[in-house]
Amino acid sequence: MLAIHTKVLPATLHHGTRIKVMCEGFNSVTVPYDGFGESAHKNAVSEFIKRHKLNWSVEDMAIGQLPDGTWAFVDAEADRKKCAQMEERLRELLQYIVTGDHYETKNPYRREPVVKALQTLSNWHGGDWIDQLKAKGQNHA
């Protein structure tokens, strides 16, 4: 389970008040302080999710302020959803392999069950690298 942390950065000579959003495995994002209190931190996390193209929702997260003034956002349901999706995709892939449908002369990695399983695996932590590779491969085809 990943937790997103937000922290208010005070104004400097060059920048106004900002919120820094951090999550392990992702580049941090700093956004202008927009709103007040919890709503400002929700807006910052929404921007973080948008910039990283994640399939997460701030509305589904548990939110809390820590004693040091930072905020934490946790989606406890995300792991359960991802595990269920992973199980479904791997079950489809196994069914595809067992039925013998994959014994054709076409590239097996372009078959729908294989592509879905690989996309699910690639998006496990929000990455979109397989879509980029797919687009790149179509440009060279």
* Over residues 128-136, mean pLDDT: 57
Cα four-point dihedral sign 11, 12, 13, 18: negative
Q: Name the burial class of residue 6, with classes exposed (0-12), middle (13-18) and buried (19+) by CB atoms within 10 angstroms of its CB.
A: buried
Cα–Cα distance, 84 to 119 (Å, whole number): 14
Task: Give 69-117 as a 3 state SS string.
Answer: CCEEEECHHHHHHHHHHHHHHHHHHHHHHHHCCCCCCCCHHHCHHHHHH
| Whether this model's pTM surpasses 0.75 | no
For 36-49, write each residue's pLDDT tens digit: 888 999 999 999 99
Model confidence over 98-123: pLDDT tens digits?
666 656 666 666 677 777 777 777 66
**Domain extent listing, the chain:** 3-74, 77-140
Q: In angstroms, rounded to a whole number, what is the distance separating the alpha carbons of residues 110 and 65?
A: 46
CA distance 113 to 100: 13
